[in-house]
Structure formats: structure tokens, C-alpha cells
Structure 1
Amino acid sequence: MHKPILLIILILFTILSGCSTKKSLPIEDLPSNNNEWHPKEVSPSSFEIEQIVKLANNGMVIDSPFTVFESTIQQVRSDWGEPDQIDEVAGGSYATYKERNTVFGFNQDGEIYDVRFYNNNLRELTIEEVEHEIGQPIDIRKNNQESIYVYELKNEIELKMIFPNDTKRLGHISIYNPALAKAEQYVLDIKGNSNQLSDKAWKNMQNWRDQIKKFTVEHKNVYLNGPNKKRVALTFDDGPDDIITPAIINILNDYKVKGNFFFLGTNVKLHTDVVRKAYESGHLVLSHSLNHIELSKLGKGEVEKEIVSAGEEIQSVIGKKPAIIRPPYGETNEQVVSVSEEQGYSIVLWSIDTLDWSQRESTNIVDNVVKNLRNGDIILMHSDSDKTETEKALPLMIEALEKMDFEIVNLEDLLNIKAYQ
């Protein structure tokens, strides 16, 4: 072929190719597919912000299945095990899982209202990038250490982006549900009556009940009752002995329900087989101090001795040190709370007093429970040697509770606290 002809063919091919090729549209102008923005090219930082917001709208953070809508700390414990630490704050508690880079805030009912996520990769994100991707926050809260950028998401939950002031890069994020965080404390009045008390004794008891309820509200580590759910706990003080306590254990075992025994350290030493039987039957073996004396009237060193010695006696039998204590007579104060916390204990009192130590008839013991029963009640009984009527009342009480569709659980499950250290 002659060169002029070949040149003409090449020119024509180039012109035709150019006419048949459309100019590409900018990516931003491409139609979306089902309202999703897949084609848009984004930087790694932008992609992480998009992921954070998407999860946050579902109440979640990265690498966690738990939400601030319906998850509980008990579910977290079941799936992830015990947290590395729990910090008590006004109105709630925070459980830290270091290896998971996650912290859960939960209320008295165990409902998770705050999920915080920490990860070094978050530090790649700057304030400018966050504002560019999701806009201006509804609020910026500042202190000496950090700036908190608050974004309101669907269902009125908040996404908080926390920037340390020294770096202005993202330190951690928080998904926060104000409705659960601000839930009022569910603290019950203490119920139970006896016709064997004098007017003066009854008045004193009523005054104490009012005062201890107020004290409980003000102290996170002190409990009168559990959450507002159809569950209750049966508790027994002052044992063990070699007659009534074993009988109570057998009744609980026969009905396949769990009990909570607050044993005196001095009695533990005398009846190790009974303590071991209670523990091996699946009931909780907890502390009622070493001797049955008012801890609130002792000096700090004496309070420490009562708590530590009782724990050591129990540990010597079952191999575990309890993490729950009930002070004798329910008497407590700031010092008792402080020492208990230092020694790893929560204080658990009661919301129904059967008064099996006063009006001892089995009918009155059962009536004090059935006629006063509410969600989350902690029921006080005794298991020392003169409580034959309590032994008689217990089967009737269990049957009545089950007929009313109440679940009988141990204190660890009722309160979402550790039974042992």
C-alpha cells in the first residue's frame, strides 16, 4: 500500500474513534445505586469516619456487637468475661475491657448507656477532617485536657468525638444514650411488719429504714434491692449452724432455686462442712463479718479486722474470698463503706424484712413477703439454730413466689456484681 493512502486511513480512524468516545463524567455526578455512595473515592480517614457514623447510628462501635439500645453488662460479661476494672461514677458504672479497647457505661439495671472505643488508628483523624465529613457538632465541650465534639444521631443518641488538646487528633469516641443514663434509680422502701415490736421500737425501725434508703441512694456500692424486673433473691443471715442451715440448703436444693448465705466468720470455723455444702450446692457463701457486732460503732482498724478475718475464714473453706458483705443489723456508715470498698466488697442490705427474728410464726414470715412483694426485692431471713419457723415457711414462700411468676436468683445475677474476689 502506498504511504499517502496509509496516512489517510490512519487519520480517518483517529477521527472516527474520537467521535465514538464519550467524555467521562466526574465521579460526583454519577447516579447513586440505591442511595449508596459506592463510587465516591475517599481517603482512609474519610472512610473510617463514615464507618464510625454508620455504626453509631445503630448504637455501636467498631469490633463490638453490643449497643446502647438493648444490651446489658451481663451480656458483655457472658461473651467477653469479667472486665479488667469497674469504676463507679455518679449515676452509673464503667467496665473497662483493655484488650478490646472498649469501655461500657451501665446503669443500676445493668443497661448499657455508653460505649467508648479507643484505638491508635483513630489518631489519624483530625478535627478538620471530622468537621469536613459530618459537619459542625451540636455542642463543643471543653476542659483543660480535651475538647468533646457532640453530634446528635437518630433515636436521640449522641456520638461524641473526643480530641485531646495537646494533639487535636481523635483520642476516642463515645456512643451515648441519655435516656438510659438518666434513668431514675430504682430504690425500694423496706417492707415487713411484726406485732411483737413496741411502738418505740417500731418507730425507731421506720426511722432507720428511711435513713438507710437515703444512704443507699447516695452510695453506689450499697444495695437495698435489684432492678425493676420480676426477679427476687432469698438471703439468710447469722449461720451456719448444724440444724437449720443444712435444712434450708436441702429445701433450696429440692426446689432447684439458689440462696444467698451471709455467714459469720466465727460460725464458719465451727461448721465447715455446712459451709462447704452450701457452696457446692451452688448457693452463694457471703460475709456477715467475723462477729455479730455493729461495724458502724468501731474504729477503722477494727472494721478492717472484722471484714478481713471473716473473708479469710470463708476462703479457707471454699477457696474463694467473698465480694459481698452484709453488716450486722444493716448498720453502716461512710467508714464501713470505705473500708468495704478497699477490701473488695459491695454492701448488700434488704428491701423485705420477714422479721423472722421478731414475730416468728411461719404465716407472718410468708405474709411479709407475699403481701409486700415487688420487682427486685431482696428478702431477709435467718438460718441460725432457733429459726425453725423460717425453715417451715421457706417451702410455702418459694411456692408462692413461683405461682406469682417471680424468678428466684442469686445476688450476683440480680445485682450484676461479683460474688467472689
Structure 2
Amino acid sequence: MKTDESLPGRRVLLRGAALFALAATAGCAGTERSGTAPRPSASPGPAAGAQAVRPQKPSAYRLQPMTGYGPQRAAVGRTPVRSKPILRMADRDRRMVLTFDDGPDPLYTPDILDTLRKHDVRAMFFVCGEMAEANPDLLRRMVDEGHTIGNHTFTHPQLTLMRRTGIRDEIERTSAAVLDAVGRPPLWFRAPYGAWNRSAFEIGAELGMEPLAWTVDTLDWREPGSGTIVRRVLQGAGPGVVVLSHDAGGNRSQTVKALRNYLPQLLDDGYRIGVPQRMLM
């Protein structure tokens, strides 16, 4: 686990990198199955024989997220400090967003990436910093294949029980880990357990990130069976819906199996599955 010997300098670097990325990703767009765009090649996961990093211990997921619809308009180059997270994207063109929290995990994330690549679909991965530091190749594969990486803190604590300095450390260290792995910081943030507070919103905005919650919770962390996960996604599907799943934090084999089932059904039903670009309003 790295320590930051120049925290003020790292904060300046993160803010500068976030503003640079902000200028390069205006608008909101999803990437969907078209049959014309070249499909990125897969990057290998952890080398064979390498010691696999175990997923985080399962915890008492998951508090209910605050409701919020957005994004609101803000000046170009600035991230608004919100009082609620974005709960769903703009309702248009039957677009949906698939999100995966707590990874990357070498046991499950590669299978999820394989399925997404098979169907030429992009998703969002809200990574924990300690997992990102241990598996930087998986972050690079995500970016190479067009996925969006978000910040999910370093160790997955409940931020509402922490002091502001601790919250900042959790968020900044994860943004730094992503920056180190892929060359740019995340532009989206999700609080563990859906537990947000003013400090989380303010620090996230300071680092150039928008807060994203979810519309449909698969509750896959309870391991309810892949069929139940599939049913929850299909029943909750709709324009602008953001689906919450997990690729780490426990046994995620049911999540992997469910994705293989519901993803082609969503596409056959006319949903366009993609990732939101950073929005300048």
C-alpha cells in the first residue's frame, strides 16, 4: 500500500488532471451494439501463477441511496457541489447504464469484461483503491475496452461515520491509484453503502467528480441466485436506469452468470447500454 509523501502536490495533480479530462469529455453518450465499431482486444488479467488478490470481506451492504435526478447545469470547468447524488441518467433513447462496485477482482472482473466485450457494451466500474492498486492491469483493460472507471473510496468505509480528513484520504488515494494506473483520474464517485454526507459531496466535487447512485439495486451481494438477479434487472429496466451490481466483495459468480443472461435480453429489447460521458452543463 503506497503512502503519499507529497499530499499537497498530489492534490494539485489530481485537480489538474480532472480538469484536463473534464475538457476532453463533454456531453453524454452511450456506446451500444452497432456491428461497425472495431472491438478492442482484451488485455490479460493477472499473470498465470501470480498470487490472486482476494476480494474484500463481505460486509453489511447496503444503505439506501438518497434520491436525486440530474445532472444539474453548472459552469464549464466546474463540478457542482450537490446535496443529492444523481440517481438516473437523462430519459432518452432507451439508454441504460450498468455499474459494478468494489473491484477490480481477478476472480470475477475478467469474466464480466469478457461478457461486455462479447456484446460490444460499455459499463462503469466503481473501484476501491486498494483493489485498484493490487490489480492495475484490470484497470488498464477497462480503459482499453472503453469502460468508465469511478471512485468508490480506498477501503470501502461508511463515510458518514468518519471525520472529514479521513473521508478526504479515502477519496484522494483512490483517485491517485486510478491516475497512476491509467493516466487520468476518475470523473465519477459513488459512496460505499450509498451513505453520502456533505463532506463526500464537497471533496468529490473538488476533485472533479460527479456523485452517481443507482436506480436498480440487484442485491447481488446477498447471493440470491442468478435467476433472481436477472429478474430484478429486467423488471427494473427503463430509459435512464442505472443498475447496481458488484464484481468484488464476496462470491460474485452469480453476478457473472446473471450478466450473461440479462445483457443479451436487454439488447434484444432495444435498450442501448452505454456509459455517460462527463457532462458540461
Q: Secondary structure at the match of 1:381?
A: strand
Equivalent of 1:363 in 215, 219, 227 = 227
Q: Structure 2 counterpart of 1:411, which letter?
A: P
Q: Secondary structure at the match of 1:357?
A: helix
Q: Secondary structure at the match of 1:277?
A: helix
The answer as to 2:84 corresponding to 1:224 is no
With over 3 angstroms needed to count, the CA separation of the structure-2 counterparts of 1:221 and 1:344, relative to structure 1, is farther
Equivalent of 1:237 in 97, 101, 113 = 101
Aligned counterparts, 1:243-258, within 5 A: 243-258=107-122
Partner Cα distance (1:217, 1:281) in 2 = 26
Equivalent of 1:375 in 227, 232, 239 = 239
Structure 1 match to 2:263: 398
The answer as to 2:177 corresponding to 1:313 is yes
Deviation at 1:316, TM superposition (A): 0.6
Task: Provide the aligned C-alpha RMSD in A.
Answer: 2.9
With over 3 angstroms needed to count, the CA separation of the structure-2 counterparts of 1:82 and 1:317, relative to structure 1, is closer
The answer as to 2:271 corresponding to 1:417 is no
- Whether the aligned pair in 1 keeps the contact of 2:67 and 2:84 (CA below 8 Å) is no
Q: Structure 2 counterpart of 1:340, which letter?
A: G
Structure 2 match to 1:42: none
- Whether the aligned pair in 2 keeps the contact of 1:360 and 1:390 (CA below 8 Å) is no
Deviation at 1:320, TM superposition (A): 0.6
The answer as to 2:196 corresponding to 1:332 is yes
**Structure 1, residues 375-413: CA drift from partner, whole Å, max 9, x if none?**
10000000015100110010211111112111001132x
**Structure 1, residues 25-59: CA drift from partner, whole Å, max 9, x if none?**
xxxxxxxxxxxxxxxxxxxxxxxxxxxxxxxxxxx
Deviates more, 1:221-230 or 1:325-334: 221-230
**Structure 1, residues 273-320: CA drift from partner, whole Å, max 9, x if none?**
111111111111221111110112211111111111100011111011
- Whether the aligned pair in 2 keeps the contact of 1:221 and 1:346 (CA below 8 Å) is no
With over 3 angstroms needed to count, the CA separation of the structure-2 counterparts of 1:287 and 1:217, relative to structure 1, is closer
Partner Cα distance (1:266, 1:319) in 2 = 17
Structure 2 match to 1:121: none
Based on CA coordinates, which of the two structures has the bigger radius of gyration? 1
Structure 2 match to 1:169: none
Partner Cα distance (2:190, 2:67) in 1 = 15
Structure 2 match to 1:302: 166
Deviation at 1:417, TM superposition (A): 2.5
Partner Cα distance (2:127, 2:227) in 1 = 25
- Whether the aligned pair in 2 keeps the contact of 1:238 and 1:383 (CA below 8 Å) is yes
- Whether the aligned pair in 2 keeps the contact of 1:249 and 1:278 (CA below 8 Å) is yes
Q: Secondary structure at the match of 2:239?
A: coil
Q: Structure 2 counterpart of 1:402, which letter?
A: L
- Whether the aligned pair in 2 keeps the contact of 1:232 and 1:377 (CA below 8 Å) is yes
Deviation at 1:217, TM superposition (A): 9.6
Q: Secondary structure at the match of 2:116?
A: helix
* Larger relative contact order (CA 8 Å, sep ≥ 6): 2
Instruction: Structure 2 unaligned segments of length 5 or more: list them.
Output: 1-20, 30-59, 73-81
Equivalent of 1:386 in 239, 246, 251 = 251
**Structure 1, residues 343-370: CA drift from partner, whole Å, max 9, x if none?**
2111101000011011431111110011
Structure 1 ranges of 4+ moved more than 3 A: 81-84, 214-221
**Structure 1, residues 317-356: CA drift from partner, whole Å, max 9, x if none?**
1011111111111110122111211121111010000110
TM-score of the aligned structures, taking structure 1 as reference length? 0.48
Equivalent of 1:259 in 115, 123, 134 = 123
Partner Cα distance (2:185, 2:68) in 1 = 29
Give percent identity, aligned residues only: 26
Partner Cα distance (2:69, 2:116) in 1 = 32
Partner Cα distance (1:241, 1:362) in 2 = 19
**Structure 1, residues 247-271: CA drift from partner, whole Å, max 9, x if none?**
1111101110001111100001111
Q: Structure 2 counterpart of 1:226, which letter?
A: M
Aligned counterparts, 1:260-299, within 5 A: 260-299=124-163
Equivalent of 1:342 in 191, 206, 224 = 206
- Whether the aligned pair in 2 keeps the contact of 1:354 and 1:365 (CA below 8 Å) is yes
Q: Structure 1 counterpart of 2:141, which letter?
A: K
Q: Secondary structure at the match of 1:222?
A: coil
Structure 1 match to 2:40: none
Matched pairs, number: 218
- Whether the aligned pair in 1 keeps the contact of 2:83 and 2:201 (CA below 8 Å) is no
Aligned counterparts, 1:17-416, within 5 A: 208-209=64-65, 212-213=66-67, 219=82, 222-229=85-92, 230-384=94-248, 386-412=251-277
With over 3 angstroms needed to count, the CA separation of the structure-2 counterparts of 1:329 and 1:215, relative to structure 1, is farther
